[in-house]
Amino acid sequence: MTTSLDPAAVIAEFIDAVSPYDPQPEASPVALLGLRTALGDETFTLSDHVIRAMCRALASYRDPEDRGECIGCGGRHLDENLHCKDCGRLHGILGQVIADHVRRVAASGAGSAPGEPA
């Protein structure tokens, strides 16, 4: 696996990895991909098999930063503690426990300051 951040090398490695399994390697390419980076320009010819492999790879990909969607604002920026960076809502078990506690305190009217009787 490429550890380089060279996009052309990554694409070339993907093509090399899936091309041996192409059932029709002699078929005409279905796409021509041009890539311009700081390292230079590259052109790749893509077969139907490679495009389908890209589609399958994309469909099965799960980003490690994907922790779901905020049920409060719909944002997709939950941190590792399931705290929404957009609206501040806590999710998961901890978030549910805190939200339930806040509702109980609000319902009981026990919103006094620490050290004061509730």
- Confidence (pTM): 0.65
In terms of domains, do 73 and 108 share one?
yes
In terms of domains, do 68 and 48 share one?
no
Q: How many CB atoms lie within 10 A of CB 78?
A: 22
pLDDT at 103 over 90: no
In terms of domains, do 56 and 71 share one?
no
Q: Percent of the chain having pLDDT more than 90? A: 58
Q: What is the domain count for the chain? A: 2
**What is the rounded average pLDDT for all residues in the chain?**
88
Q: How far apart are the C-alpha atoms of 112 and 5, rounded to whole Å?
A: 55
Residue 1 lies in a domain: no
Per-residue model confidence (pLDDT) at position 96: 79
Domain span at residue 101?
A: 64-113
* pLDDT tens column, 15-66: 999 999 999 999 999 999 999 999 899 999 999 999 999 999 999 999 999 9
